[in-house]
Amino acid sequence: MSAAKKVVVVGAGIVGVSSAIWLKRAGHDVTLIDKGEPGQGTSYGNACVLAACSIAPVTAPGLILKGPMLMLDPNFPLFLRWPYLPKLAPWLLRYLSHANDKDTRRIAKGLTPIVSDSLAQHRALTDGTDTAKWIQQSDYSFAYTDRAAFEADAYTWNLRREAGFVPDLIEGQDVHDYEPALADDINLLATFKTDHGFIHEPGGYVADLTKLLVELGGTFVQADVRDFDLSGGKISAVETDQGRFECDQAVLATGVWSKPLMQKLGINVPLESERGYHIVYKNPENGPKSPIMVASGKFVATPMAQGLRCAGIVEFGGLEAEASKAPLALMRKKVKESFPNLIAESEEEWLGHRPAPSDSLPLIGEVGSSGVFAAFGHHHIGLTGGPKTGRMVADMISGNLSNNDLSPYSPQRFS
């Protein structure tokens, strides 16, 4: 292990906070910086699930042919704000270029080490602390109308099986005995009963992890990061609107907002916002007892602390546009179809920005020899893979050898 360093971590989402805690535990002097409150960005609004089986990218073979039809189907949860298409097009072409068997398997192989032990990694991060209260082990199910619908997803399920994730299949009346809240036309569940779970409330979880960092001797500063001082060829400070923070190393973990700072480091990352929506049904009745991914609606329903959170939907439209009405209307329709007897006192809507690199793999590692380490671009797996990513980054900075092949995540792949 190398000597203790002064490290600034930029971004107080799950990846940044996990990095900061593991760095502090390794003996480094750690300052965590975010322009907002910890855990109130993209880490706040996810589906809450620790989805260890989420190793398959969206860009499966056949997407190039199916994509345009799906985007025009008002009943499918894929939306595009058409005025944004000219700006999106270069990224979209690169993204779709990976929709083939060879690249899909390569991407799945890269995602597996980051997510496959998610529950264990969250527990290691929180072991012996009050933050462990947020973690709940649970079943995680995929709901289908019937076996034919399940078998239509055979390619993705084969990838999961090859990675060691084999579900229990529940069919017919057994589905409704297992989960009475589901609609009568859902007659197959593919259920994982080990190695999965959820976070009761991700925003509160990340906020408490930040408090844990401070208790360990780290520092949290609310400031807007503007630049890196690389005047000596290697980082010496992070420049913010609240002043200059000197450091030996830095970690960049600001999700989709990392792109401008990466450009200052000489890399133009093909990164887009995949706009994600959720609805929280407050004080619900007749909802599911554990997280369920409803295949027909591509949304996850999770019984978390705030209520039943239903999260999903994909929309492309950039960072600036307001929330659209159509995605939320479709989600309400799909939730009603899937859980017909669900009632709630009130509802809360949310829109966030998933950081989507064109090849669906996060950027993890040092940017050249700058002393700045990328830790962003987790697409759909940020909460699931955050603690593992943080541990990987802390090991890199500490000089510890990794048992994993880190080359798939190299920031230099976009140089």
- Domain co-membership, 209 together with 191: no
- Where would I find the H helices in 141-264? 147-151, 154-162, 173-178, 202-215, 259-264
What pLDDT score was predicted for residue 232?
86
Q: Which of 125, 281, 287, 141 is closest to 205 using CA atoms? A: 125
**Whether residues 223 and 328 fall in one domain:** no
Same domain, 102 and 157: yes
Looking at residue 399, the DSSP 8-state letter turns out to be T
Q: How far apart, in Å, are the Cα atoms of 376 and each of 12, 85, 247, 271, 370?
A: 12, 24, 20, 10, 17
* Residue after which a domain boundary falls, among 317, 341, 356: 356
Are residues 77 and 10 part of one domain? no
DSSP string, 303-369: EETTEEEEEEEEEE-TTTSPPPHHHHHHHHHHHHHHSTT-B-SEEEEEEEEEEEETTS--EEEE-TT
Which residues in 172-254 belong to E strands, given as ranges?
188-192, 197-199, 219-222, 225-229, 237-240, 243-246, 249-252
**CATH code of the domain in which 32 resides:** 3.50.50.60
Give me the pLDDT at residue 2, please.
Answer: 67
Q: Residue 9's closest CA among 264, 259, 221?
A: 221
Q: Are residues 125 and 249 in the same domain?
A: no
Mark which of 356, 372, 404 sits at the end of a domain.
356
CA distance 408 to 86: 29
Are 178 and 145 within one domain?
Answer: yes
Q: Is 1 part of a structural domain of the chain?
A: no
Query: Is the residue at 347 inside a domain?
Result: yes
**Residues 229 and 367 grouped into a single domain:** yes
226 in the same domain as 207: yes
278 with 410, same domain: the answer is no
Question: According to the model, what pLDDT value does residue 1 have?
Answer: 55
Angle 134-138-139 from CA coordinates, rounded to 5°: 155
Report the run of H or E that residue 119 belongs to, with start and end. Answer: helix 118-126
Among 329, 356, 383, give the residue marking a domain's end: 356
In a domain, 145, yes or no: yes
Q: Is residue 73 part of a domain?
A: yes
Q: Does 210 share its domain with 330?
A: no
Domain range enclosing 33? 6-44+203-268+360-414
353 strand-pairing partners: 275
Q: Answer yes or no: is 120 within a domain.
A: yes
Other Cβ atoms closer than 10 A to 105: 15
Residues 293 and 373 in one domain: no
Residue 225 has a pLDDT of 97
> In the chain, how many domains are there?
2
pLDDT (tens, 9 = 90+) of the chain, 415 residues, equals 568 999 999 999 999 999 999 999 999 999 999 999 999 999 999 999 999 999 999 999 998 888 777 777 888 888 999 999 999 999 999 999 999 999 999 999 999 999 999 999 999 999 999 999 999 999 999 999 999 999 999 999 999 999 999 999 999 999 999 999 999 999 999 999 999 999 999 999 999 999 999 999 999 999 999 999 999 889 999 999 999 999 999 999 999 999 999 999 999 999 999 999 999 999 999 999 999 999 988 999 999 999 999 999 889 999 999 999 999 999 999 999 999 999 999 999 999 999 999 999 999 999 999 999 999 999 999 999 999 999 999 999 999 988 889 999 999 999 8
Q: What is the pTM of this model?
A: 0.96
Please check whether residue 84 lies inside any domain of the structure.
yes
CATH number of the domain enclosing 183: 3.30.9.10
Same domain membership, residue 173 and residue 135: yes
